[in-house]
């Protein structure tokens, strides 16, 4: 008898819950739908603005090398001793640098530069994309740079990256040379 009473009460509760949910839908009045207009109102187009555009002026670029000058650089590279030193057609030499680390704060870069200089490395740092990047170098041959890379990995556990050397004058033009404020 106990189980029958529980089942009846549960059934009654379910019926009451269903009545509470569905009775309001049955008693609800139909609402009139919102009127839809056939008229489409578009705003007036704005007045056209007349402007004059000056003819663009080509930037003045430094004179580039003609084919004869480029050929002369190639010939000069062939005549150099087998030191691995090669001249760039734009001027200067091809050199290599080792990127040691990148820091968000320049004080960390300065600290690492001092540590590397104490170990007789030619270390310096540059500002690149708001980061202080520490380099060692330059090295005239890629093999010499790779040897120093191996030495840094064995002695200090530093994983490094061999990159092209950017001379100081180019770094100054690019704005990556640290200022006295850094």
Mean of the pLDDT values across residues 22-45? 79
Q: Cα 57 vs. chain centroid, distance in angstroms?
A: 31
Q: Is pLDDT at 101 greater than 70 in this prediction?
A: yes
Q: Are 102 and 133 a contacting pair, CB within 8 Å?
A: yes
Mean of the pLDDT values across residues 156-166? 83
pLDDT level of residue 28 (50, 70, 90 thresholds): confident
pLDDT in the model for residue 11: 92
Of 38 and 61, the one with more pLDDT:
38
CB-based contacts of 73, cutoff 8 Å, min separation 6: 65, 87, 88, 89
pLDDT level of residue 173 (50, 70, 90 thresholds): confident
Of 84 and 114, the one with more pLDDT:
114
Architecture of domain 84-174: 2-Layer Sandwich (3.30)
Query: DSSP code of 21?
Result: H
pTM beyond 0.85: the answer is: no
Q: Which of 58, 62, 89, 64 is nearest to 76 (CA)?
A: 89
Mean pLDDT, rounded, of the chain: 79
**C-alpha span between 165 and 171 (Å, rounded):** 10
DSSP per-residue letters across 32-86: PPPP-------PPPPPPPP---PPP----PPPPP-HHHHHHHHHHHHHS-SSS--
pLDDT in the model for residue 144: 87
pLDDT in the model for residue 180: 64
Instruction: Please calculate the CA angle 64-65-68 and round it to the nearest 5 degrees.
Output: 160
The per-residue pLDDT for range 84-95, each reduced to its tens digit, is: 555 555 556 678
Strand partners, 162: 98
CB-based contacts of 176, cutoff 8 Å, min separation 6: 126, 127, 128, 166
Residue-range domain boundaries for the chain: 84-174
Query: For the ranges 49-63, 78-92, 110-124, 126-140, which has the lowest average pLDDT?
Result: 78-92
Q: In which element (H, E) is residue 154 found?
A: helix 142-156
What are 131's two structure tokens?
A: 């980061």
Instruction: Please calculate the CA angle 102-104-108 and round it to the nearest 5 degrees.
Output: 75
Q: Is pLDDT at 16 greater than 90 in this prediction?
A: yes
Give the CA-trace dihedral at 57, 58, 59, 60, to 10 degrees. -110
The per-residue pLDDT for range 65-84, each reduced to its tens digit, is: 566 666 666 666 565 555 55
pLDDT in the model for residue 76: 60
């Amino acid at each position: 008898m106990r189980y029958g009473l529980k089942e009846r009460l549960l059934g009654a509760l379910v019926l009451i819950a269903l009545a509470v949910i569905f009775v309001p839908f049955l008693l609800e009045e139909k609402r009139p739908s919102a009127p839809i207009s056939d008229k489409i109102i578009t705003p007036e187009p704005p007045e056209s603005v007349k402007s004059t555009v000056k003819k663009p002026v080509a930037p003045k670029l430094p004179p580039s090398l003609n084919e004869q000058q480029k050929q002369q650089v190639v010939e000069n590279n062939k005549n150099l001793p087998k030191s691995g030193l090669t001249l760039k057609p734009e001027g200067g030499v091809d050199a290599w640098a080792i990127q040691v680390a990148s820091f968000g704060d320049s004080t960390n870069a300065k600290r690492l530069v001092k540590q590397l200089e104490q170990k007789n490395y030619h270390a310096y740092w540059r500002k690149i994309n708001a980061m202080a990047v520490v380099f060692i170098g330059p090295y005239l041959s890629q093999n010499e740079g790779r040897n120093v890379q191996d030495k840094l990995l064995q002695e200090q556990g530093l994983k490094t990256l061999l990159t092209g050397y950017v001379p100081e004058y180019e770094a100054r033009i690019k704005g990556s040379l640290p200022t006295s404020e850094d």
